[in-house]
Amino acid sequence: MGRMGELKTGNTLKRWDTAVKDPAFAPFVDLSWIKTQAEHFLEALNQGTVSTNVFLRRIHNFALDMDWIGRRIIPKRQWPKVECNAKRAITWVEHQTVLASEKNPEFYAYYELLWHLGGSQSDIANLNSENVDWPDGTIAYFRMKTGSRVMFHFGDLVVGILKVLPQAGPLFPNIRKSREADSATYFKRRCTLRGISGVTLHSYRYAWAQRAKESGYPERFAQEALGHNSIAVHRAYAMKAKVKLPNLEDCERKIVAIPEPTGILENLL
């Protein structure tokens, strides 16, 4: 656990430090690998949460890769399946409901940019004025989680939001200084007061991906916009999008001239 922590930085390190303090790990956290038995892991997985399963797998696989253990403590097929709670996108109506109850202008603008840009709560909270290229009409930054580069071309609605934000330094100075958990709790409280359940700040990413798919936005462009490297990841985000496909005839008319119906079929009938 300690060695893996040394390889992490920033928010990833904070999440890791929190994860390894999981009470489910307590019975065997000080044992050497040679004394750790499958029963220790199975009991931890039974007592813990989805997070316990995810992080214990990572620790176990890291030890295998480093040749610190000669065999698996739990065979690969015997690990309990990771079953996460269902995640969903925040709807336009829910987003507007949250905005209607938000009196803090900084949080109001924050939620608006989350809706329009689909960035993670940390990436949007840490945007600076230097990330905005006004002549080019873009916002560019490197994702804190993966380091991948993201670039958005923004429209008039985002222009209106950016104009009321600081023109120098952090766009959200107060949100940026607060912890992720505090911003998430604040948002959840807003939702609860308005009778909204089942959404988090991360739901804005799902919403952006679904909107992109429903509007016919090319998938490879959506991947770039969300900062994903895997096509499977983006498809997971947009899996619930409802797409109304246009008929081929209308699309074809935009490219080539199609003869009008001759009426022959009506005559035959």
User: Which CATH number goes with the domain that contains 157?
Assistant: 1.10.443.10
pLDDT at residue number 234: 66
pLDDT at residue number 146: 78
User: Confidence band (pLDDT; 50, 70, 90) for 268?
Assistant: low
Looking at the structure of the chain, the number of domains it has is 2
Same domain, 144 and 19: no
Same domain, 125 and 209: yes
Residue 253 covered by a domain: no
Nearest to 15 by CA among 54, 45, 48, 42: 54
| Helix boundaries (H) for 69-143 | 92-101, 105-117, 121-125
Stretch 130-137: mean pLDDT, rounded?
94
Residue 30 covered by a domain: yes
pLDDT at residue number 213: 85
Same domain, 141 and 31: no
Model pLDDT for residues 156-201, shown as the tens digit of each residue: 999 999 999 999 999 999 999 988 889 999 999 999 999 999 999 9
Residue 244 covered by a domain: no
pLDDT at residue number 7: 86
Same domain, 105 and 223: yes
Residue 193 covered by a domain: yes
Stretch 22-33: mean pLDDT, rounded?
89
H or E stretch including 149? strand 149-153
Residue 152 covered by a domain: yes
User: Confidence band (pLDDT; 50, 70, 90) for 244?
Assistant: low
Same domain, 194 and 102: yes
pLDDT at residue number 200: 93
For residues 215 and 202, the model is more confident at 202
Same domain, 142 and 176: yes
Q: How far apart are CA 217 and CA 211, in angstroms?
A: 8
- Domain limits for position 63: 2-78
Residue 165 covered by a domain: yes
